[in-house]
Chain A
Amino acid sequence: AQSVAQPEDQVNVAEGNPLTVKCTYSVSGNPYLFWYVQYPNRGLQFLLKYITGDNLVKGSYGFEAEFNKSQTSFHLKKPSALVSDSALYFCAVRDGYSTLTFGKGTMLLVSP
């Protein structure tokens, strides 16, 4: 069975500093990996995905993620955090035709 782990319940970072939100995964085949963001009282919004190709994937709002096959990781990054980036972030994985499995989420808090 596929699974996703987000080891940090919360990440705190000061505005202007780089941020990383961690994600590791487990699938039996080639992974399709996704990051979603949820703002308060809103649904989930797609940020970026890795299917194949370059290990560094660029997405919306200046976010990027690095796929590392040997470490089975797909960490979300941003060079310079904004207060408006404060939200709940979900990593998700699917194995080809399987359903999408989500991690438990990481709350990102960016302080002014």
Chain B
Amino acid sequence: EAQVTQNPRYLITVTGKKLTVTCSQNMNHEYMSWYRQDPGLGLRQIYYSMNVEVTDKGDVPEGYKVSRKEKRNFPLILESPSPNQTSLYFCASSQGGDYGYTFGSGTRLTVV
């Protein structure tokens, strides 16, 4: 089944403790992206990647890192999480062009 898999689905952590949210797609898509969803703000893009070793900042990149060492994986790294990064995170992938995105199921992160 074609899908984007995120892990974990739920995560509670403490301020400053480094964490990684994994994202993997099995559709051989070149384009991958991370979004965060907050009430009243919709989805805002954090980082995106056009291909392996090619990443770029989205609208809200502060406090996040990403890497794209292989085509299928696009992990999101929070080096020192803060409470304002409490949010619902989505990974997505696409063939690009006029194709839409396929989204993962989301990761609900709480930073206390």
Chain A residues close to B by CB (< 8 Å): 6, 9, 32, 34, 36, 42-46, 49, 51, 90, 96-97, 99-105
Q: Is the interface of A mostly helix, strand, loop or mixed?
A: loop
Chain B residues close to A by CB (< 8 Å): 33, 35, 40-45, 48, 58, 90, 92, 94, 96-98, 100-106
Does B42 lie within 8 Å of A99, measured CB to CB? no
A90 to B102, CA, bound (A): 14
- Selected contact of B42 from candidates A32, A96, A104, CB within 8 Å: A104
A46 to B92, CA, bound (A): 12
Q: Which residues of B contact A105 (CB under 8 A)?
A: 42-43
Q: Which residues of B contact A90 (CB under 8 A)?
A: 42-43
Does A46 lie within 8 Å of B100, measured CB to CB? yes
* Smallest CB gap from A34: residue in B: B100
- Selected contact of B33 from candidates A9, A42, A99, CB within 8 Å: A99
Does A99 lie within 8 Å of B45, measured CB to CB? yes
